Amino acid sequence: MLLRHTTKEIKERKALTVNPAKTCQPIGAMYAALGIHNCLPHSHGSQGCCAYHRSALTRHYKEPVMAGTSSFTEGASVFGGQANLLQAIDTIFTVYEPDVIAVHTTCLSETIGDDIPQIAKKAETDGKIPKGKYVIHANTPSYVGSHVTGFATMTKAMVDYFAESNGRKIEQINIIPGYVEPSDMEEIKRIVSELGIRSVMFPDTSNVLNRPQTGRFDMFPKGGTTVDALRSTGSSKATLALGRLASGPAARALDAKCKVACEILDPPIGLAATDAFVDTLRRMGGVSVPESINTERGRLLDIITDMHQYFYGKKVGLVGDPDQLISLTEFLVSIDMWPIYVVTGTPGKKFESKIKEITRDVPHEVKVASGGDMFLFHQWLKNEPVDLMMGNTYLKYISRDENIPLVRFGFPILDRVGHSYFPTVGYRGGMRLLEKILDALLDKTDRESPEESFELVL
């Protein structure tokens, strides 16, 4: 349904969300679980919940997403889901033979109050968990948080269940990438490798949700972080977490459990955030930055210089996840664009204050909403339009109604293909983002310019 009847008049809403700028916790937990090698995510709830979680990820990544479900019926809803989960654990290990079953809860199982660790312990006692196999869990009710907090909870579970210290530090750094694309995880690993640093990334969905077409179906792709690598994270000399909300909890848990010092940065989107990422790696690894990385940075600076005249003073509206929006806002401000509307569906007042701090020198009123929705965002646009929007697929309706260019960014992107193969992090990712932004702005200029202004060359 198109949104042409959205009103300009803004009224405070406490009990109603219209077109939320987020999705539910279990989707993030399932995505994180897919970043463990030979892991089968398991939705402890009804078949409908699992079908939604799988389809949301499948539609975004254009890859088959495998997951199990406890298949709650009316009986399980009344008496609890222990019997269903015990049967599921037995069947999954017998038929599909994963190394890990990663259980995430749903609204229904959380409301009932199922104790997943107790059920897993009973499964182990009953001999349903083979030796060398594991069941981990994350509590992810959909009525709180978002897909970002679900991702964070499952990532922290990897620390809680697997990380262990062998009593000495090994020369490796843990990288927790945050809720980003598989291509972004791949690019982060490439940069770390380019600096000559040994690392363990977790979770790691590269070569899982952007795997190559081989003509053969594999239940468990080659990618993902192995259990042995997850264990070794407790002996690493440091952890670098990218994203305070998505990666911070796991980094702090690892520090508390195994005394692995951590630093938490914003995701490396744009020049300043990537500079901070590279410099922190340099310090942690005790290495020098190679010329290859300096060359990439120089290219990003060059393209910013070439494009700057088209970016200057353009107003932007952003919708997405908090960690990514912080870095993206900083990037846009650095190239003299004005992010004046910034909305995330994930609650958190710290996000609002951080965006206000980044945009303090923007010569325009900046409106920020955490726990907001796209209806509010649309109302802001009705009162004063912007030159560009950036966000997920659901913004396309507003883009069409208001004739505002849209650059698709974040999760979910359902109507385009390729985002899981091309990064937006690092210097290379920054160049790609700038190209997409400028293309969107100039496409509108070309589309609407009169004949005498329709130029062949810029």
Round to whole Å and give the CA distance between 76 and 437: 50
Supply the pLDDT for residue 1. Answer: 47
Question: Residue 395 corresponds to which tokens in the numbers above?
Answer: 């913004």
Round to whole Å and give the CA distance between 331 and 314: 13
Long-range contacts of 306-312 (CB under 8 A, 24+ apart): 307/335, 307/434, 307/438, 308/335, 308/336, 310/438, 310/441, 310/442, 311/335, 311/336, 311/337, 311/437, 311/438, 311/441, 312/336, 312/337
The pTM score is 0.95
Supply the pLDDT for residue 60. Answer: 96
Supply the pLDDT for residue 3. Answer: 64
Round to whole Å and give the CA distance between 234 and 246: 19
| Structural domains of the chain, with CATH | 25-150 (3.40.50.1980), 170-291 (3.40.50.1980), 307-452 (3.40.50.1980)
Query: What is the residue type of 315?
Result: K
pLDDT along the chain (458 residues), means of 10: 75 87 96 98 94 95 94 81 95 97 95 94 97 97 95 98 93 97 98 97 96 89 96 97 97 97 98 98 97 98 97 98 98 98 93 97 96 95 97 96 96 94 97 98 93 84
Three-class secondary structure of residue 342 per DSSP = strand
